Amino acid sequence: MHWFFFILFMIWTLALIWDGKDLFNKKQWLLAGLMFILVLVATVVIGFTLKWLAQSMSLFSVETAKHYSIILSMSFLCVWGLKVTVVLLCTLFSGIMGGHKRYNAENYEKVSSVTRVAAPGLLIVAKSAVSLGSILMFSGLWLK
C-alpha cells in the first residue's frame, strides 16, 4: 500500500511540475491560494474521517489513523508546494528580466540574448532539482 501511494503522489507531482504551465496570471495565483486553503481543509476532513473509521468500525487503531492522516496531509501539501516552487522560480526569473527591460534598457538586449540561450537549460535544471526533491520527500513520507 505504501508503494502504491508513493507512486501515485510521485506521478501526480511530476505531471504538475513538468506540465509547462510555469507562469501564473492573477487568477491562477488566486486559485493556488484557494488550493492551499483546500489542502488545509482536506487535512481536517482526512483526520476526522480516519479517526471516525478507527473508533466506530475498529478497522485500525487511532494511532494508525493519526499516522496516515499526517502522511496524507503532508503529501497533499508537498504536491501543492512543489508546483508553487516551480512557478515561483519562473516568476522570479521573469521578474528579473522585466526589471532589466524597464530599468536597464541599454543593456537589455545583451542580457536578453544570453537568457534566450541559457533559460531553457536552467528551467530544466530547476525542474529536475524540484523533481529530485519530491522523490526525497515522498520516499520519506511513504517508504520509511
**Number of structural domains in the chain:** 1
Task: Report whether pLDDT(6) > 90.
Answer: yes
Domain interval for residue 131: 2-142
Cα–Cα distance, 122 to 125 (Å, whole number): 5
Question: What count of other Cβ atoms lies within 10 Å of the Cβ of residue 118?
Answer: 10
- pTM of the predicted model, to two decimals? 0.85
The model's pLDDT over 101-140, given as tens digits with 9 standing for 90+, comes to: 888 888 888 888 888 888 888 889 999 999 999 999 999 9
The model's pLDDT over 81-102, given as tens digits with 9 standing for 90+, comes to: 999 999 998 888 888 888 888 8
Question: Average pLDDT of the chain?
Answer: 90
> What is the pLDDT at residue 13?
95
> What is the pLDDT at residue 81?
94
Q: From residue 133, how far is each of 78, 84, 117 by CA, in Å? A: 10, 14, 26
